[in-house]
């Protein structure tokens, strides 16, 4: 039973991470049962776990739907996420080793290559690189609990971060900031790395309103 629960849980999490599932989208329980050949009990257990994570909600007289933040909720989650990401960058600046530094520079260079060669094209491909950049920073922090917190909190806003890269110039700006953050981390400048990463992941209120409107 536990195995079936994990199968469904990971399938929904993967759908969120890849952008196959959008905020406010209903969870089709029958489709999941048929696709993964699981019974209804492990499906419901998976949904309960996702609800506890804050990734799905159950509106009155409706089934489970993916969490879709209000304006106020968006700003509150963003505030927490900025602090978590900033803390990860600060710790990474203190703890990063040679291998972690090589991995970080590799993804920074990939981001820059995309920005140079593709410009604003293929934002989904760039977003995958962006996720890898933040993953490498979090791993370099040496704190697996912090990495898990960033993943769980960040999933609530993934669709909006992804949509951000549809805006002209956003990819180039992001790639430049990734380079700046990486250089601060590699220079072991913890305070500035923390501050710049926090600023990097924040949106202004107008942008938040635009993103909420863009995703319905």
Q: What is the pLDDT of residue 2?
A: 57
Give the integer Cα–Cα distance in Å for 95 and 112: 25
pLDDT of residue 208: 87
CB-CB neighbours of 188 under 10 Å: 12
Q: What is the pLDDT of residue 59?
A: 85
Q: How confident is the model over 68-85, as a mean pLDDT?
A: 93
**Which has the higher per-residue pLDDT, 216 or 17?**
17
For residue 176, give both structure tokens. 């430049």
Check if the beta carbon of residue 94 is closer than 8 Å to that of residue 188: yes
User: What average pLDDT score do residues 14-35 get?
Assistant: 87
Alpha-carbon gap, residue 62 to 56, rounded angstroms: 12
Per-residue pLDDT tens for 84-130?
Answer: 999 999 999 999 999 999 999 999 999 999 999 999 999 999 999 99
**pLDDT score of 172:** 96
Structure tokens at 90: 């600060």
Higher pLDDT, 181 or 41: 181
Handedness of CA 89, 182, 201, 11 (dihedral sign): negative
160-163-168 Cα angle (round to 5): 135
**What pLDDT score was predicted for residue 8?**
87
Distance CA 127, CA 144 (A): 23
């Amino acid at each position: 039973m536990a195995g079936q629960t994990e199968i469904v849980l990971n399938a929904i999490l993967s759908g969120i991470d890849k952008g196959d599932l959008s905020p406010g989208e209903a969870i089709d329980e029958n489709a999941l049962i048929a696709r993964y050949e699981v019974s209804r009990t492990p499906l419901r257990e998976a949904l309960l776990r996702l609800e506890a994570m804050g990734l799905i909600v159950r509106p009155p007289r409706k089934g489970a739907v993916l969490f879709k933040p209000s304006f106020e909720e968006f700003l509150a989650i963003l505030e927490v996420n900025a602090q978590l990401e900033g803390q990860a960058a600060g710790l990474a600046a203190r703890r990063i080793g040679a291998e972690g530094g090589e991995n970080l520079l590799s993804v920074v260079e990939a981001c820059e290559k995309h920005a140079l060669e593709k410009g604003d094209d293929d934002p989904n491909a760039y977003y995958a690189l962006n996720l890898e950049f933040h993953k490498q920073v979090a791993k370099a922090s040496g704190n697996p609990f912090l990495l898990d917190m960033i993943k769980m909190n960040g999933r609530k806003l993934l669709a909006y971060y992804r949509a951000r890269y549809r805006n002209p110039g956003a990819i180039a700006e992001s790639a430049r900031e990734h380079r700046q953050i990486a250089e601060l981390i590699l220079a072991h400048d913890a305070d500035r790395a923390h501050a710049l990463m926090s600023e990097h992941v924040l949106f202004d209120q107008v942008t938040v309103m635009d993103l909420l409107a863009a995703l319905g």
